[in-house]
Amino acid sequence: MYDRLLRILPKADIYYDLGTIKGGDDFKKSILAAIEQTDVALVFIGKNWLSPQPDGGSARVFDEDDYVRIELSAALARPILVLPLLVEGAKMPPPDQLPMDIRALSTRNALPLRLESFDDDTENVVKLILGTSKPEFWEVRDRFFSRVGFSLVGLLVAFLLLAAGALIHSWLFERSLAASIGSTGTTLMIISAVTVGIWTGLRYEAAKRGR
């Protein structure tokens, strides 16, 4: 989900503790600071969310110092969208099985997040939190970067061919290509190389996408 959101939002706008907190940062302070600035909190609930710990103790969410509980409690205390996401068939925990400070989570309508329908499920999440769906963001943005990439490759190939031609000309006639065709001709040749390179890259990208 984090990777999908990175396609449509700046990295600085997405807080993901494992990837956002820097070395040496205070974990609790970082989480609470992020919650204070956020508009949406996604809560991922798996099948073992309330399962006892391996040593037989209660689920981690009952530990007052557990970071997930701290994050949830802070998010539920603010007037923001707190969206539970049920992973791989998990069920929403009933209120009587949750600590009091996060019991309000059970009243929030949840969305499923399933492996077999991951694309559709993530699109539903994005549409809910951003008010738009996949084609408007992901496909258009992917197409833009794809075209830019192929244009740059085409441009690079065109310049390599131009450089190779200039070297061959210099070797055969013992003078530079610019000396043979003049400054105007050199400028026109460079402009032509740029145009043909970009056009070829875009054509190839369109053909590849069509296939």
User: Where is 97: in which H helix or E strand?
Assistant: none
Beta carbons of 102 and 69 less than 8 angstroms apart: yes
Burial class (CB in 10 A: 0-12, 13-18, 19+), 79: exposed
Q: Which residue has the higher pLDDT, 146 or 78?
A: 78
Q: Which residue has the higher pLDDT, 141 or 117?
A: 117
Per-residue model confidence as pLDDT tens digits over 196-209: 888 787 787 777 66
Q: Across 11-25, 37-51, 123-137, 158-172, which has the greatest mean pLDDT?
A: 37-51
> What distance in Å separates the CA atoms of residue 29 and residue 22, rounded to the nearest whole number?
12
pLDDT at residue number 206 = 73
Domain extents in the chain: 2-132, 138-210
| Verdict on whether the full-model pTM lies above 0.75 | no
Task: Give yes or no for residue 137 having a pLDDT over 60.
Answer: no
Per-residue model confidence as pLDDT tens digits over 62-97: 888 888 899 999 999 999 999 999 998 899 999 999
Strands annotated E in 46-138: 81-87, 111-113
CA–CA distances in Å: residue 23 to residues 6, 73, 129, 168, 169: 22, 24, 30, 54, 56
Phi and psi, residue 180, nearest 5°: -80, -40
Give the SS3 label for residue 186: helix
Mean local confidence (pLDDT), 3-28: 79
Residue 195: Cβ within 10 Å count: 12
What fold is seen in the domain 2-132?
A: Rossmann fold (3.40.50)
Per-residue model confidence as pLDDT tens digits over 148-186: 787 888 888 888 888 888 888 787 777 777 777 777 877
pLDDT at residue number 72 = 92
Mean local confidence (pLDDT), 16-32: 76
pLDDT at residue number 104 = 93
Task: Give yes or no for residue 134 having a pLDDT over 70.
Answer: no
